């Protein structure tokens, strides 16, 4: 295979063309759409959106997380997050507890109903990811994870690695 053809097929990752990068960007958009479609169908039936899903997901990942930490992870406005949290709390999916050392802090936990919804949403995504990972193979899985980690902004990498470390992945 010629050097140009090898580069085109991604074997020489140091010399990706704009066209190859465009294909990767398009693949990312379509993959994200597929990744979110299954949970979106579940959420629509409950009159929730992706913001509710993200809040539930990260409260599940870090039980007891503070509202300020969740704001930092999600990168949304306080007003937007408060609207989402008020609804999740009113619907009995999230519980907000006053901090033990700082009573101004609010610590968030999923209720049993919230944990059940989180499992339903995550199960739908796990099925899709497990299938894709099996099709791609173990080396591709490791490479994909490294690519995603390298694409993260540094502050988001910190959150990501903190969550992984808390779960001991």
- List, as one string, the DSSP characters of 113-169: HHHHHHHHHHHHHHHHHHHHHHHH-HHHHHHHHHHHHHHS-HHHHHHHHHHHHHHT-
Predicted local distance difference test score (pLDDT) of residue 95: 97
Predicted local distance difference test score (pLDDT) of residue 1: 43
Separation CA 31–CA 26 (nearest Å):
8
Cα dihedral 166, 110, 41, 167 in deg (nearest 10): 10
pLDDT at 15 over 80: no
Helix/strand/coil for 103:
coil
Residue 152 falls within a domain, yes or no? no
> What digits encode the pLDDT tens for the residues 38-70?
999 999 999 999 999 999 999 999 999 999 999
∠ CA 66-67-70, rounded to 5°: 90
pLDDT at 32 over 70: yes
Residue 166 falls within a domain, yes or no? no
Residue 122 falls within a domain, yes or no? yes
Q: With bands split at pLDDT 50, 70 and 90, how would you rate the model's confidence at 169?
A: low
Residues 111-120: what's their mean pLDDT?
Answer: 98
Residue span of the structural domain in which 113 resides: 3-136
Which CATH number does the domain housing residue 95 bear? 1.10.10.10
Number of domains comprising the chain: 1
- Give the pairing type, strands 65-66 and 106-110: antiparallel
Token code pair at residue 48: 């929730």
Token code pair at residue 95: 């519980």
Predicted local distance difference test score (pLDDT) of residue 103: 80
Residue 156 falls within a domain, yes or no? no
Residue 143 falls within a domain, yes or no? no
Residues 110-122: what's their mean pLDDT?
Answer: 98
Residue 114 falls within a domain, yes or no? yes
Predicted local distance difference test score (pLDDT) of residue 156: 84
Helix/strand/coil for 28:
helix
Supply the DSSP symbol for 63.
T
Separation CA 83–CA 65 (nearest Å):
17
Residues 17-45: what's their mean pLDDT?
Answer: 93
Residue 165 falls within a domain, yes or no? no
pLDDT at 82 over 60: yes
Residue 72 falls within a domain, yes or no? yes
pTM > 0.85: yes or no: no
């Amino acid at each position: 295979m010629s050097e140009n053809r090898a580069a085109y097929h991604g074997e020489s990752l140091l010399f990706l063309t704009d066209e190859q990068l465009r294909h990767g960007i398009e693949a990312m958009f379509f993959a994200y759409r597929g990744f979110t479609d299954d949970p979106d169908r579940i959420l629509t039936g409950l009159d929730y959106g992706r913001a509710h899903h993200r809040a539930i997901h990260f409260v599940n990942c870090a039980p007891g997380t503070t509202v300020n930490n969740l704001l930092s992870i999600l990168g949304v406005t306080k007003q937007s997050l408060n609207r989402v949290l008020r609804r999740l709390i009113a619907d009995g999916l999230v519980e907000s507890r006053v901090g033990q050392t700082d009573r101004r802090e609010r610590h968030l936990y999923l209720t049993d109903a919230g944990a059940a919804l989180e499992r339903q949403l995550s199960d739908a995504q796990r099925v899709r990811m497990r299938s894709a990972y099996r099709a791609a193979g173990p080396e591709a899985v490791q490479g994909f994870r490294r690519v995603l980690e390298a694409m993260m902004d540094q502050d988001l990498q910190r959150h990501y690695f903190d969550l992984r470390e808390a779960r001991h992945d």
